Each structure stands twice: as C-alpha cells, then as structure tokens.
Chains A and B, each alone.
Chain A
Amino acid sequence: MKLSDLQQHFFNALLNQENNFKNYVVDQGALNVEQRINIYQNAYKARLIESIETDHEILGYYLGDHLFDEMAQGYIKAQPSNNRSLRHFSNQLPEYLKITHPFKEHPVLSELARFERYLLDVFDAADAERATLEYLKLIPEHDWADMKFRLHPSAQLFTSEYNCVECWQALKANQPPPKPINQLHSWLIWRNHDQLTEFVSLEAMERQMLEMMLTGETFANICNELATVMAEDEVSLFSVQRLINWLDKGIVRSLITE
C-alpha cells in the first residue's frame, strides 16, 4: 500500500472515523490489534484534553469534572488540531462555548475561556524595550502635542460583558465564584518587568486613551477627546498621571516624536 494511503487509514482510525485500519496492522504477542490501535486513539484524546486542562484550569474548576469532560470531548470532535503547537489547540474554545448547548446558555463561560486565552497570549508575546519616565522627561514640552505611542507587545485590552474576571479571581483563590451578572467592564492585561502576567481594571476614559494610543493618535488628539467627557482643566492632569502610571507598569514600548 502507498505510504500516503496507510497514513490516511491511520489518521481515520485516530479520529475514530473508520474500522479498516486494523487490516493493515500485524497481529502479534499479548495485545490484539484493536488494543494496539486503542493505545494511539487514547493517547490522541488524552493529549488534547490535557492541553485544554492546562490552558483552561480555572474554566475547569468552574465547570466541574463532568461538564468539563463533556466540553472537552465535544470540542475535540468539532475541532481537530490544525496547529502543530498544542498551545493553540484551544484557540477556538471561547467560540465553541458561545455557540454550543448547554454552554451557550451561560455566556460567562465563553468569556472566562477568552480571558484565559488572553493570559496565555500575554505570557508568550514578543519581548521589547520599555519606555521610562526618564525618557518622557527628556521630551521638550512643545513636542508633547505631537507625541505618539507604541504599547508593549504583551499589552492587551479585554472587555467583558459579565463578571468573568471576578469569577476567575475567586476560583483562583479556591473560593466559590460570584453569581454571573451582566456588567460591561474593561481590563488591561500585560507582562510586567519581571515577566509576570498582570491585569488591572480600566475606567472608560482610560480604555479610550489606550485605544487611541494603539491606533497611533497624537497626545493632543487624545487630550481633545478626553475633553469631551471631562472638565478641560482636569484633562492634562488625568492624561499625564495615566501616562506616568503606564510607563511605570512597563506597558509603553516607546514614545514617538517626529
């Protein structure tokens, strides 16, 4: 048989899609052919389930063993692994939870999974230099208006419609999670100077400022926008304080002045 045909049969067996493969396997020794094939089928499933468990530990606590297993088995069937790294196997898990019964009836589950994926992305995002307060001080005041920003590659904005982060925090501390409630909330997640992942809650205006920094707006434009929602004399204090705070946290990669 051609190598490619044999591999097709093997893979079909691995994904439980055919029974023919056993005809190509040698029957020998203490194990029969089905048991031998079974070792590979079990290993395939076990590895994928373990990767979901590792990446979504807190979701696992939330669901409990029984529902987690139902989710994992269903996801594996729906989503064969198309990435060579297991690290990305569960990329579509938040979407799966969003559209699949019974999980879709509890939208906080999909959000919790999405939050955990953000934490993973932040963990191995690219490294980069970080701008410091000292660097900001070197920029002459008349250049501030045209100043633009680049954020650290690990910095991520996350918006939740439920209290999924509060649930995550409670479960992480071995506490029962609060009841899911509908509440719009924004978070900043990043990797700090010590390579540890951190997140903080964002006020609406902070989120707006960060979004404008991400899209390459100038400091003047950002301040103008802030002035539409707060008193004009508060804008400069607010914006400079936040900027200093983010420089301190290490989320600003560079300050760009032309």
Chain B
Amino acid sequence: MTLDMLQQTNNFLGFGLGLRTQHFQEVITNQPNIDWFEILSENFMVAGGKPRYYLDRIKERYPIVMHGVSLSIGSTDPLDWNYLKQLKTLINHVDPPWFSDHLCWTSFKQINSHDLLPLPYTDEAIKHLSERIRIVQDFIGKPMLLENVSSYLSFKDSEMTEWEFLNTIRRESGCFILFDVNNIYVSSRNHDFDPMDYINGIDVDSVLQIHLAGHHDFGSHIIDTHDHDVCDSVWELYERTLRRFGPVSTMIERDDNIPELNELISELDQARNIYRNVFSNLSSENPTTKPAGLIE
C-alpha cells in the first residue's frame, strides 16, 4: 500500500492547529499552510458575534473538527440534554468529520469544576461511560472521539491500567480515540508507568486524531499547561505512535503563552517531518498497521 492510499482510507486530514482568537484575522487574510483546524466547541456555542463571524469564514476554507470540554461523560450526573442540543446545533452548522471530548468528568450535582477530572478505572465506570457514549453518539449522529487526559492522582479503587480502561470503553461503546501523546507522557511521569505500554495497549484501528502539546516540568511531576513548545520526549513518542497507528490526523494545541502563527506552523512542520520519515519507505515495507476507518 502506498502512503497516498493509506491517507485516503484513513480520514487523514493532515496537520492542523487549535484555532485561537489571536489568529482569526491572519488565518483569513493569509490562508497559511495549515491543513485543518480544531475549534473548542464551547467557545462557539454562543448566539453570535466575532467568534461565530470568523468561524463561518474560516470553515469555508479549512476542514474543521470540534473538540469539547464540558460533556462530562464520566460524571454520575444525568446527561445534560440542554448542552447536547446546543452541541448538535453547532455540529450541524460546522459539519465536522467527527467531534471529541475527554475521558473524564467535569461536573457533579450541577456544579462545574472547569477541569478534566480523572476517573477510577473500574468495571462500573466502563459500563457507565459506555452506555452514555452510545447515547451521545446516537443523538449527535457523528463519530465521537474520546481523549485521554493528563492526571495528577490515581484511585485505590482502580482495577486496571488507564489504557486497558480506555481501550475497553472504546470497544464497548464504538467510539474512537483522540490520542494525546503529551498527556500520555505527562501521566506516565506523574504515575510512573512506561508510555510505550500505553501506546501498545491501544487497538491500532481506534485512533482518529492525535494531540501534541507542551507542558511544565517541575522535576517531581509535570503539569499539563499547553504553554510551551512540544518537548523532545513527546516528539519521540509521537514517532512511535505513528509507527503503531499509521497516518493519523495530527495537531498542536496551544492555549497559553500563544506565539505568532508562524512559530506554530514551524512546530507543525516538525510533525510533518517526523511523519515523512516514518512513512517514506512504506511502499517497500509492509505496514504493520491497518489505518482506522470511520463507520459510515
């Protein structure tokens, strides 16, 4: 199989960036060399104004995927149908190939933490999340991706590893995975596991999108801040991730200390180079992995 064929069957969007307000105007004026954008759904779930104005112009020129932070899929609160309806309205408007949220919970008894809180890795949680994911996917009518989060504590209740937990939920719910390589690195340092065990523990046909980001390393632990460049260890893991999962749409998240767009594009070029190196000899090699495909 050639790289071209792989890309076509893989819903491969190429190399994208998280769309940030600082770059709205430049994206429209200069149409930079970025293959696609990811928007934070909640930022555009407003009635109107500048964000919606720019979104409509940018979506004419770039593919857009949607990423949410407040679905709270792991919470024991009932699903928030008001939120889901607003999300669906925005999804119908943007028409992304997929939408995503996190393997976490954010709210409890209608109070919001505004944080991506970790779950215990238990059978009860697997059942709870899988049921809810199926309901959400059915309602939205688009493939849903769940992203692994960075975490700073783990629970005595956990009965398995995070990757076993995520992989089982993915199998039982039929969702896909947004693989955040930085979050795996951050959590591996905070919880002392081998990030390669995580990468190898996820089914190869399940990853549709990759996040790369920077963090703050305190030595004793790492905080996931998204305010630095991607570090070397994460680039290495990214290469290993591509080798396992094949060509997967990749993007860089930057949420704080946001640099000029050009700087982010140079960083994105680094991802493009790694990708080219990994797959340049592909036609002579037998790829070990089968690319993920969306269920029509």
Contacts and interface: CB of A to CB of B under 8 A. Distances in A.
Interface of A: 1-4, 6-8, 10-11, 14-15, 24-26, 28-31, 33, 36-37, 39-40, 43-44, 47-48, 51, 80-87, 123-128, 153-154, 191, 195
A39 B76 contact: no
Contacts of A40: 113, 115, 117, 152-153
A39 B122 CA distance: 23
A6 B155 CA distance: 9
Contacts of A81: 111-114
Contacts of B51: 124
Nearest to B107: A84
A7 B105 CA distance: 9
Interface string B187-231: 000111000000000000000000000000001110100000000
Contact of B47 (A2, A37, A43, A126): A126
B48 A153 contact: yes
A32 B199 CA distance: 27
A25 B156 CA distance: 6
A83 B76 CA distance: 17
Given A7-B75, A28-B192, A84-B107, A195 B53 contact: yes
A48 B112 CA distance: 10
A4 B76 contact: yes
Interface residues of B, number: 48
A20 to B, nearest CB: 13
Contacts, number: 125
Interface in B12-64: 42, 45-53
Given A8-B109, A125-B48, A126-B48, 10 more contacts: A3-B76, A3-B125, A7-B105, A10-B117, A15-B111, A26-B154, A36-B152, A37-B153, A40-B117, A127-B53
B267 interface: no
Nearest to A33: B153
Contacts of B152: 31, 36, 39-40
13 contacts: A7-B76, A11-B113, A25-B156, A26-B158, A28-B191, A39-B152, A84-B106, A123-B49, A127-B52, A128-B48, A153-B47, A154-B48, A195-B50
Closest CB pairs A-B (n = 10)? A127-B48, A126-B47, A30-B220, A4-B76, A124-B46, A36-B153, A84-B70, A124-B49, A39-B152, A126-B48
A18 to B, nearest CB: 13
B138 interface: no
Given A3-B122, A11-B111, A39 B223 contact: yes
B251 to A, nearest CB: 23
A85 to B, nearest CB: 6
B153 A25 contact: yes
B47 A124 contact: yes
Nearest to A85: B42
A191 B110 contact: no
B258 to A, nearest CB: 14
A154 B191 CA distance: 49
B133 to A, nearest CB: 15
A153 B52 CA distance: 15
Nearest to A47: B114
Given A6-B155, A28-B191, A126-B48, A82 B124 contact: no
